[in-house]
Amino acid sequence: MALQLGDIVPDFTQASTEGPIQFHAWGEGSWVVLFSHPKDFTPVCTTELGTVAKLKPEFDKRGVKVVGLSVDGLENHGGWAADIEETQGAKLNFPLIADTDRSVSSLYGMIHPNASDTLTVRSVYIIDPNKKLRLTLTYPASTGRNFDEILRVIDSLQLTDGHKVATPANWQQGGDVIIVPSVSNEAAKDLFPNGWDEQKPYLRVVPQPA
């Protein structure tokens, strides 16, 4: 059965470029972004790994660990890492899992037979500190992933976990947010003493909480 939002993600132990990873223990207490690649030495994924390496300080700032996965072995990962540094100007600074037996790919439903019966699709999983799946995205082979969007979603998840708000379309850090419908106006007066813009009874807009 496919992983669904809110599920506890499966644990696994697998080799990586930074040594064996026992996934639940490795990610303990942190947000985690796991993203898969169909194979090593693929052009779009090369640019993605370089982009994530450059963005790692942004993930670190949010308390997020990032980890990549490919079905090729560690010997290939090493050569690919050198290519990434040469072409993207960024050294691989997070682990890349070698899922040669496809056990993780199978656990997480990364293989879609109509796309390929052996290669993983290019999926992204955002996992919270309680090991629950909070977002999944699957991209076609031809389209590079937008990691600024991944950071935006993490910002939204972390904000809305701490406050009774939701973020509107195209929200960016610092933008106005929406009071969730489960909060009554009476309760909202305590939570948002400076008031709100009630565009509709169900659409109450407030500045982003600090």
Rounded Cα–Cα distance for residues 90 and 82 (Å)? 10
Residue whose C-alpha is closest to residue 12's, from 112, 127, 115, 113: 127
User: Is 123 a residue of the active site?
Assistant: no
Q: Report pLDDT digits (tens) over 122-180.
A: 899 999 999 999 999 999 888 999 999 999 999 999 999 999 999 999 999 999 999 99
Could you give the C-alpha distances from 83 to 19, 60, 189, 201, in angstroms and in order? 20, 24, 56, 55
Domains, the chain, ordered by start? 13-144 (3.40.30.10), 163-206 (3.30.1020.10)
Catalytic residue among 21, 32, 33, 45: 45
Tell me, what DSSP letter sits at residue 17? B
pTM over 0.85: yes
d(CA 36, CA 68): 6
